[in-house]
């Protein structure tokens, strides 16, 4: 009985260990979140992927997609993010699952598949929509969905997404996101031939732009 208990505890400890993130990858993620894409890519290049355990290899792949996205490099293949999404659906926490789905949406968008992109953004949003502490990410996802609807000339569908993005960006004081989404919402109102609302949000965007450092 004691031997069985020791084996069970060893398996649990091994599983916990395999799911802990490598500190170097945590640093890559922090640099990417601070929009220091070049530094994040350099830090990622210094890590030997083959030396990582399975969990961290998949997180390394997620960071590869993320840093490329942050560097405005167009995604041209989806096999990497597809494998990442599949893995973290089974073994990732809420934060990593939603982020993997978000970047799969970004990859699909770059590859010209708007419906799939919207679906992955929706899935990412569903995971965190009832959770606290994700206001910035909720704003970001809604903003991305609004932009896709706008590109598809689906202005009635784009409008509530931008309104929702603005709501969450106000909650977390995301001034830069607000500036862009005020402008996007103004453009939507202009397309819907609602000039008063368009003017209001263009003015909000302009006023906010004066408050943000270059």
Q: Please say whether the dihedral angle defined by the alpha carbons of residues 168, 152, 86 and 177, taken in this order, is positive or negative.
A: negative
Per-residue pLDDT tens over the stretch 132-183? 999 999 999 999 999 999 999 999 999 999 999 999 999 999 999 999 999 9
In tens, the pLDDT along 95-129 reads 999 999 999 999 999 999 999 999 999 999 999 99
Contact 154, 188 (CB under 8 A): no
The C-alpha angle with vertex 107 and arms to 81 and 183, in degrees rounded to 5, equals: 140
Model confidence pLDDT, tens digit, residues 44-73 = 999 999 999 999 999 999 999 999 999 999
Closest CA to 141 of 96, 94, 105: 105
Q: What is the pTM of this model?
A: 0.88
Please say if the pLDDT value at position 9 is more than 70.
Answer: no
């Amino acid at each position: 009985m004691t031997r069985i208990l020791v084996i069970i505890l060893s398996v649990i400890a091994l599983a916990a260990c395999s799911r802990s993130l490598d500190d170097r990858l945590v640093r890559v993620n922090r640099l990417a979140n601070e929009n220091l894409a070049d530094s994040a890519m350099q830090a990622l290049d210094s890590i030997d992927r083959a030396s990582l355990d399975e969990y961290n290899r998949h997180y390394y792949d997620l960071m590869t997609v993320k840093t490329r996205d942050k560097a405005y490099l167009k995604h041209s293949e989806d096999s990497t993010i597809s494998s990442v999404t599949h893995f973290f659906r089974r073994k990732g926490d809420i934060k990593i699952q939603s982020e993997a789905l978000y970047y799969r949406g970004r990859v699909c968008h770059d590859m010209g598949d708007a419906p799939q992109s919207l679906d992955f953004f929706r899935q990412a949003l569903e995971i965190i929509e009832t959770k606290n502490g994700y206001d910035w990410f909720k704003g970001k996802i809604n903003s991305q969905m609004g932009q896709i609807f706008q590109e598809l000339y689906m202005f009635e569908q784009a409008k509530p997404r931008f309104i929702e993005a603005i709501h969450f960006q106000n909650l977390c004081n995301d001034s830069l996101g607000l500036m862009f989404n005020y402008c996007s919402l103004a453009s939507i109102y202009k397309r819907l031939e609602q000039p008063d609302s368009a003017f209001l949000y263009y003015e909000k965007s302009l006023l906010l732009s004066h408050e943000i450092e270059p």
